[in-house]
Amino acid sequence: MASGFFALLDDIATLMDDVALMSKVAGKKTAGILGDDLAVNAEKASGFMSSREIPVLWAITKGSFLNKLIILPLAFLLSAFIPTAITVILLLGGLYLAYEGAEKIYEFAFPHVHKKEAPKLENLSKEEALKREKDKIKSAVITDFILSVEIVIIALGTVATAALLNQILVVSFIALVATVGVYGIVALIVRMDEFGAKLVNLNKRENSISDKIGRFLINALPKVIKSLSVIGTIALLLVSGGIFVHNLDFMHGLFENIPSILLEFIVGLVVGIVVLLIVKLGTKLWKTFF
């Protein structure tokens, strides 16, 4: 009995070692997409009143956990029985991400062409503020879903030849890190000014070290958020371009002289512009005839 128990412990230890090693490899493979996920979601989670930042971020985080609960079992089943469906889902997600990135660039280049400037938060009624909040949460969760699919598929690809149990443990671990790690860092970013204010009020001495650090954090937050908006848009196009470059066979070997990151950005931008034009044309025709 005792020998059997210790043999079981030895098997578990070996399994954990294998999982840890494969998780390290999968983590390296998904590091780029996790960075893009952070930039995109930090931009999505910003722009709320200070008192609503954490509740909104928690709502997005719960949506992200739900996304993983939906994606993980489906990914394992599709990978086992219909592997081609994984590629189709990735390409559809790539179209959406490319469209969203191109739309952001269009809105920056042609601001408020079809609509009036959105009122500031302080000028909104409670109902209007809640509606805007729900819309941003919904948009963030949808984007998180698509990025989560990409993260799960990449992680799954690194352990495709491993035993099923190892696949489940490794990919689930990466999915958990993707949610807890990304949104934990996002929480630190969006609350940076609050932490800065606490440092300023830490003592009554003028121009102390805590005052300088606090004022730096307060002044840096708007610049960080603005930068993340730009980085998030670029990340959307890079992720979408990467999906097409790595999953469409006819693109393999083309444009070999172009750096991969530049190629992925160009592909994402071109696809995004095409999808944006189709959507806008379709919307215009719908309004004309219906």
Tokens 């097409």, located at residue:
244
User: What confidence category does residue 1 fall into, taking pLDDT thresholds of 50, 70 and 90?
Assistant: very low
**Domain span including residue 123:** 2-182+235-289
Rounded to an integer, what distance in angstroms lies between the CA atom of residue 126 and that of residue 111? 26
Rounded to an integer, what distance in angstroms lies between the CA atom of residue 241 and that of residue 5? 51
Residue 209 within any structural domain of the chain: no
3-state secondary structure 44-73: HCCCCCHHHHHHHHHHHHHHHHHHHHHHHH
Q: How high is the pLDDT of residue 31?
A: 53
Residue 213 within any structural domain of the chain: no
Residue 228 within any structural domain of the chain: no
Q: How high is the pLDDT of residue 2?
A: 44
Q: Answer for the pair 243, 150: CB distance below 8 angstroms, yes or no.
A: yes
Residue 198 within any structural domain of the chain: no
Rounded to an integer, what distance in angstroms lies between the CA atom of residue 279 and that of residue 105? 15
**Full-model pTM:** 0.68
The total of structural domains in the chain comes to: 1
Residue 125 within any structural domain of the chain: yes
Q: How high is the pLDDT of residue 277?
A: 95
Rounded to an integer, what distance in angstroms lies between the CA atom of residue 288 and that of residue 290? 6
